């Protein structure tokens, strides 16, 4: 049975892929579908229930929840992907330094990574935002500065493995050195799996982004963002509890999509366990 053959039966992969496709679609064509301007205030219809003109009701300022949700998909997805990319670049740099810099450099860099990994990222992210002041930029920077060790460790492992491949050894013997070796022989080996793994981490980034938004430390009002919407809904938990549902469910589904996809891919690529006696 081939890996491709097993993909078809992989329910996690299918479900995750379907959720993510829906999400990307919402982010792309959301502005067209949105019934209203997400920022338009309708003081006469504050905290309206779902139905009629406002499919998912309105928030405390009378803004259309459905429109805000659709626009929020753009923000969550693009911010997470941008941050993911920044982390990947930083992770690639550190990972290559550790993987190619010799055992001493490797030891020191990996120790730093270990120390950082052991320390709860959210607390240090909070510290960075504390220093720079709450904004989308400082939240992103805080996340980048705290999440790179995961990627660095992964890249280092890939580099070490790629370094021992025969044709890379051959290239080294024939005199390829430094950047030429990295660009010509190592990067093509390391980048695809690193990109794959990085995209799977995006789920946890969405979770953190929305969490920071919820705390008021990320995206600032009035920009429509799921976490911020949830934090606004919190004040009306008794009078308009339906406001809790949509933004929370959106965050949950987006993260679930990425996590299911990751679980499914791991299952599909890891044939080792099935073949092990």
Helices 136-163 + 65-100 axis angle, to 10: 40
Regarding 274 and contact with other proteins (CB under 8 A), the answer is yes
* Three-state secondary-structure class, residue 42: coil
Single out the segment in contact with other proteins by CB under 8 A; choices: 65-73, 97-105, 124-132, 172-180. Answer: 124-132
Regarding 275 and contact with other proteins (CB under 8 A), the answer is yes
Tokens 């890939």 belong to which residue? 158
Tokens 């919190």 belong to which residue? 234
The CA radius of gyration of the chain, in Å to the nearest whole number, is 22
Q: Applying CB under 8 A, what is the total number of residues that bind other proteins?
A: 51
Distance of CA 209 to the CA centre of its chain: 9
**Window 139-198: residues binding other proteins (CB under 8 A):** none
**Which secondary-structure segment (H or E) carries 68?**
helix 65-100
CB of 181 to other proteins, least distance (A): 31
Vertex 84 angle, CA 29 and 206, to 5°:
60
Given the complex with other proteins, which of 127 and 170 has the nearer CB atom? 127
CB of 115 to other proteins, least distance (A): 5
What is the distance between the alpha carbons of residues 152 and 150, in angstroms, rounded to a whole number?
A: 6
Distance of CA 16 to the CA centre of its chain: 14
The pair of structure tokens assigned to 127 is 């510290």
Single out the segment in contact with other proteins by CB under 8 A; choices: 61-69, 79-87, 179-187, 229-237. Answer: 229-237
Single out the segment in contact with other proteins by CB under 8 A; choices: 33-41, 96-104, 193-201, 234-242. Answer: 234-242
What Cα–Cα distance (Å) separates residue 242 from each residue in 48, 193, 250? 10, 41, 13
CB of 118 to other proteins, least distance (A): 6
Regarding 218 and contact with other proteins (CB under 8 A), the answer is no
Single out the segment in contact with other proteins by CB under 8 A; choices: 25-33, 48-56, 164-172, 243-251. Answer: 243-251
Burial (CB < 10 A; 0-12, 13-18, 19+), residue 73, is: buried
The pair of structure tokens assigned to 189 is 């080996």
CB of 265 to other proteins, least distance (A): 13
Regarding 126 and contact with other proteins (CB under 8 A), the answer is yes
Regarding 211 and contact with other proteins (CB under 8 A), the answer is yes
Regarding 127 and contact with other proteins (CB under 8 A), the answer is yes
* Three-state secondary-structure class, residue 64: strand
Q: CB under 8 Å to 112, separation ≥6 — which residues?
A: 149
Regarding 49 and contact with other proteins (CB under 8 A), the answer is no
Among 214, 225, 228, 232, binds other proteins (CB under 8 A): 214
| Binding footprint of other proteins on the chain (CB under 8 A) | 1, 12, 111-112, 115, 118-124, 126-134, 203, 207, 210-211, 214-217, 227, 230, 233-234, 237-238, 241, 244, 247-248, 251-252, 255-256, 258-260, 263, 271, 274-275, 277
């Amino acid at each position: 049975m081939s890996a491709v053959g097993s993909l078809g039966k992989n329910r996690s992969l299918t479900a995750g892929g379907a959720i993510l496709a829906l999400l990307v679609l919402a982010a792309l064509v959301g502005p067209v579908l949105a019934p209203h301007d997400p920022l338009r205030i309708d003081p006469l219809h504050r905290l309206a229930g779902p139905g009629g003109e406002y499919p998912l009701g309105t928030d405390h300022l009378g803004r259309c929840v459905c429109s805000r949700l659709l626009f929020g998909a753009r923000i969550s997805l693009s911010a997470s992907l941008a941050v993911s990319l920044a982390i990947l670049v930083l992770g690639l740099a550190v990972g290559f330094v550790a993987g190619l810099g010799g055992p001493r450099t490797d030891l020191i860099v990996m120790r730093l990574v270990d120390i950082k990994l052991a320390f709860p990222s959210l607390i240090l992210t909070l510290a960075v935002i504390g220093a720079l002041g709450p904004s989308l930029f400082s939240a992103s920077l805080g996340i980048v500065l705290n999440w790179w060790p995961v990627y660095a460790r992964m890249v280092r492992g890939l580099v070490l493995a790629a370094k021992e491949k025969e044709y890379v050894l051959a290239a080294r013997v024939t005199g390829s050195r430094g950047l030429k070796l990295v660009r010509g022989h190592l990067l093509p080996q390391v980048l695809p799996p690193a990109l794959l793994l990085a995209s799977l981490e995006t789920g946890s980034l969405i979770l953190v982004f929305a969490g920071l938004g919820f705390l008021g430390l990320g995206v600032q009002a009035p920009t429509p963002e799921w976490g911020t919407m949830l934090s606004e809904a919190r004040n009306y938990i008794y009078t308009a509890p339906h406001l809790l549902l949509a933004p929370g469910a959106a965050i949950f589904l987006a993260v679930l999509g990425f996590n299911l996809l990751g679980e499914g891919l791991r299952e599909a690529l890891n044939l080792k366990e099935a073949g092990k006696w």
